[in-house]
């Protein structure tokens, strides 16, 4: 074997092999080197990968590399490991000695200064981007503005040209916080027209970015901030391409890029890939390599499947060592009370409507499973017969069936949710009679929200309501009605209430419906569980025993644990799922793992 292992510039390493050297090529691939076709070399930016290759060469085939090169690699690998460990520690830091400029009368909390320090270091010395992923309610907006204040302290700088992309409902809040926390005056404008505002800091919402010319600026932005960056999880979406580039479309030009979200993984690890690639993370530059390593990616007869999760502890370590700072409320706010989740089981025998809804669910699910099984069997037979046309037609029929099944299941869930509204209202009004605080109630469907509102009005409680149709002004009014004690019942759409609203005057959260995406429910919960909360927050999931929603809650629980392992935990997920705190009410509590989902065993197979 003839191989050369040497320096590649000032920071990398390269291995040069011949095409016929199959052993050498296999070893460099195993060590983590990537092929550079332009130079016909294998390269890596990691000294640890070079050290791994060195070990393979010495231990497996007794091939000796120049002693000076070997020593240089080992020394660099030690330094790289120390740097990595320091970065991981910094990504969890809850305090720091650095001073961050702040306006008179305002100051950052210790963990916020630590977050600003991490972001400043990563953006200056890292791969080009950073991810601020602190748990919801920890003041990420303030940390972003603190970073701008740090950048303002750089020699010769009097302003930081910044583009902030955020959900529409958060635009006003961003403008207010910028005006409050910036140490030097900046012109600030919200971009709502086709022409770029002439301002130092421009704020624009995700809904219109694909319609605007974001790449035509005369010079790159000093800082690009993508708030609630989980909105960019789909690399094929028009908004993602408008911001991050793709399919021939350039990315927004920016010297530094910062992604901000409390829920970087709403459903599965693959959602991180577009952001990580744009940050320049070296382990997220190839979709298939990332998917196979961290998403249990594999080929199926329907195509490549990247919807799983794997090697999550390793993923978290790489995230923290390269681009991500993330702290939990339990780690940084010792004075913030706990959040406890409870399952409240609703007995279907409590009403005729519930029994009827559950009976229809059971009968319909059996029929859906039977129809889907027959189409699946037909697809298998067509595949075995090698009849390509018949197979394509069978797959098309199967896909159409699954889409129709999903619509049917959504209708069934809606019917069951409407049927359980009286039980939810009775439970909440009982709480209101025993505690002086407000109660937050979340649902999904508009008619469920309307029925809840009518029920609470009949019980003597005029609710504050936020749905997808609520204007920004009415959202602020609803928030203030709860925060200032004018109303005691809040009804909100799960998706519409995930960001830009604070409801810490309430400490009880009730879900009358659920979302397939656990991150959205956590976002809704944390409208109450955030800075300013003085009481322990209790979150109740009201679920009809044996219903589709029972199975849905079980699946959401599993997804949430996978996300926690990739971002927060220090171990791989266990097959055991922790049981929630039980609550004694008129009906028994339900264990979300062992007691849920008996009626809906085939839902996962239906593609839901």
CA dihedral 383, 387, 392, 393 (to 10 degrees): -110
**Mean pLDDT, range 427-438, rounded to an integer:** 86
pLDDT at 439 over 90: yes
* pTM exceeds 0.85, yes or no: no
| Average pLDDT for 419-443 | 91
Please compute the mean of the pLDDT values over residues 262-282 and round it to a whole number.
92
Answer left, alpha or beta for residue 4, where phi above 0 means left and psi between -120 and 50 means alpha: beta
Tens digit of pLDDT for each residue in 562-590?
Answer: 777 887 765 454 433 333 333 222 333 32
| 281-294 tens-digit pLDDT | 988 989 998 999 99
Say which DSSP state 527 is in: T
The DSSP 8-state label assigned to residue 18 in this structure reads -
Over residues 358-372, the pLDDT tens digits come to 999 999 999 999 999
Angle (CA) 23 29 32, round 5°: 145
Residues whose CB falls within 8 Å of the CB of residue 57, separated by 6 or more in sequence, listed in order: 3, 5, 27, 63, 64, 65
What's the pLDDT band for 218 if we cut at 50, 70, 90? low
The per-residue pLDDT for 147 is: 98
Q: Are 329 and 135 in contact (CB under 8 A)?
A: yes
Q: How many CB atoms lie within 10 A of CB 447?
A: 12
- Confidence at 170, pLDDT banded by 50, 70, 90: confident
Do 502 and 527 contact (CB within 8 A), yes or no? yes
Band (553; pLDDT cuts 50, 70, 90): confident
- Give the torsion sign (CA, 588, 591, 595, 596): positive
Across 28-37, 298-307, 470-479, least confident range: 28-37
Q: Is 67 exposed, middle or buried (0-12, 13-18, 19+ CB in 10 A)?
A: exposed
For the residues of 278-307, what is the DSSP string, one character each?
HHT-GGGS-HHHHHHHHS--EEETTEEE--
- Of the given ranges (261-270, 343-352, 419-428), which has the lowest mean pLDDT? 343-352
Average pLDDT over the chain, rounded to whole? 87
pLDDT at 405: 93
Measured in whole angstroms, the distance separating CA 422 from the mean position of its chain's CA atoms is 33
pLDDT tier, 519 (very low <50, low <70, confident <90, very high otherwise): confident
What angle (nearest 5°) sits at the alpha carbon of residue 467, between those of residues 465 and 473?
70
**Residue pLDDT, tens place only, 116-159:** 999 999 998 877 899 999 988 788 999 999 999 999 999 989 99
Question: Which positions ≥6 away from 310 have C-beta within 8 Å?
Answer: 293, 294, 295, 296
Structure tokens at 114: 């630590």
In total, the chain counts a number of residues equal to 608
Q: How confident is the model over 360-404, as pLDDT tens digits?
A: 999 999 999 999 999 999 999 988 998 889 999 999 999 999 999
Confidence band, pLDDT 50/70/90 cuts, at residue 216: low
SS3 of residue 377 by DSSP? helix
**pLDDT tens figures, 311-356:** 999 999 999 999 999 998 878 877 667 788 888 888 888 789 999 9
The pLDDT confidence band at residue 591, using thresholds 50, 70 and 90, is very low
* Cβ–Cβ < 8 Å for 412, 364: yes
Q: Is the per-residue pLDDT at 603 higher than 70? A: no
Res 581: pLDDT: 30
Tokens matching residue 420: 């359980």
Tokens of residue 257, six digits: 């890029």
Pair 556, 514: CB distance under 8 Å: yes
pLDDT over threshold 50, residue 604:
no
E-state strands within 324-386:
324-325, 339-346
What pLDDT digit, counting tens, does each position of 76-114 carry?
999 888 888 888 888 999 999 999 999 999 999 999 999
Q: Which two tokens stand for residue 460?
A: 């003597």
| Top-confidence residue, 316 or 602 | 316
């Amino acid at each position: 074997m003839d191989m050369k292992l040497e320096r590649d510039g000032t920071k990398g390493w390269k291995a040069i092999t011949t095409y016929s050297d199959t052993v050498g090529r296999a070893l460099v691939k195993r060590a983590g080197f990537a092929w550079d076709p332009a130079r016909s070399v294998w390269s890596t930016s990691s000294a640890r990968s070079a050290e791994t290759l060195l070990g393979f060469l010495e231990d497996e085939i007794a091939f000796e590399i120049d002693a000076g090169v070997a020593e240089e690699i080992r020394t660099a690998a030690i330094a790289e490991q120390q740097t990595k460990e320091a970065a991981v520690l910094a990504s969890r830091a809850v305090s720091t000695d650095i001073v961050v400029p702040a306006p008179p009368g305002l100051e950052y909390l210790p963990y916020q200064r630590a977050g600003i320090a991490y972001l400043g270091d990563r953006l200056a010395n890292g791969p080009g981007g950073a991810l601020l992923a602190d748990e919801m309610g920890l003041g990420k907006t303030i940390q972003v503005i603190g970073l701008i204040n740090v950048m303002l302290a750089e020699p010769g700088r009097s302003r930081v040209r910044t583009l902030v992309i955020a959900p529409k409902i958060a635009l006003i809040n961003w403008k207010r916080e910028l005006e409050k926390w910036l140490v030097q005056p900046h012109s600030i404008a919200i971009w709502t027209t086709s022409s770029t505002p002439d301002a130092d800091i421009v704020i624009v919402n995700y809904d219109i970015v694909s319609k605007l010319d974001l790449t035509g600026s005369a010079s790159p932005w000093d800082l690009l901030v993508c708030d609630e960056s989980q909105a960019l999880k789909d690399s094929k979406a028009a908004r993602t391409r408008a911001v991050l580039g793709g399919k021939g479309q350039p990315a927004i030009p920016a010297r530094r890029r910062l992604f901000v979200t409390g829920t970087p993984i709403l459903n599965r690890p693959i959602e991180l890939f577009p952001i990580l690639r744009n940050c320049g993370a070296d382990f997220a530059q190839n979709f298939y390599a990332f998917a196979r390593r961290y998403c249990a990616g594999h080929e199926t007869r329907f195509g490549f499947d990247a919807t799983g999760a794997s090697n999550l502890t390793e993923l978290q370590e790489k995230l923290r060592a390269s681009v991500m700072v993330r702290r939990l409320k339990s780690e940084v706010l010792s004075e913030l009370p706990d959040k406890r989740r409870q399952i409240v089981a609703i007995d279907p025998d409590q009403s005729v409507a519930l029994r009827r809804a559950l009976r229809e669910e059971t009968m319909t699910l059996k029929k859906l499973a039977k129809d889907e099984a027959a189409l699946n069997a037909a697809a298998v037979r067509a595949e075995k017969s090698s009849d390509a046309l018949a197979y394509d037609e069978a797959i098309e029929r199967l896909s159409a069936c699954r889409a129709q099944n999903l619509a049917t299941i959504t209708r069934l869930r809606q019917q069951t949710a409407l049927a359980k509204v009286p039980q939810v209202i009775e439970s909440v009004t009982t709480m209101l009679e025993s505690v002086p605080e407000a109660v937050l109630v979340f649902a999904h469907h508009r008619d469920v929200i309307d029925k809840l509102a009518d029920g609470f009005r009949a019980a003597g409680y005029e609710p504050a309501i936020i749905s997808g149709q609520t204007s920004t002004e009415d959202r602020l009014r609803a928030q203030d009605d709860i925060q200032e004690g004018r109303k005691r019942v809040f009804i909100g759409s799960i998706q519409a209430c995930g960001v830009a609203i604070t409801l810490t005057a309430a400490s009880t959260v009730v879900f009358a419906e659920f979302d397939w995406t656990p991150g959205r429910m956590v976002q809704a919960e944390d409208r109450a569980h955030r800075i300013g909360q003085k009481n322990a927050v209790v979150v109740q999931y009201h679920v009809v025993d044996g219903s589709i929603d029972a199975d849905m809650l079980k699946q959401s629980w599993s997804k949430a644990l996978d996300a926690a392992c990739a971002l927060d935990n220090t171990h791989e997920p266990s097959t055991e799922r922790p049981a929630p705190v039980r609550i004694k009410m008129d009906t028994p509590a339900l264990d979300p793992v062992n007691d849920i989902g008996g009626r809906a065993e085939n839902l996962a197979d239906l593609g839901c």
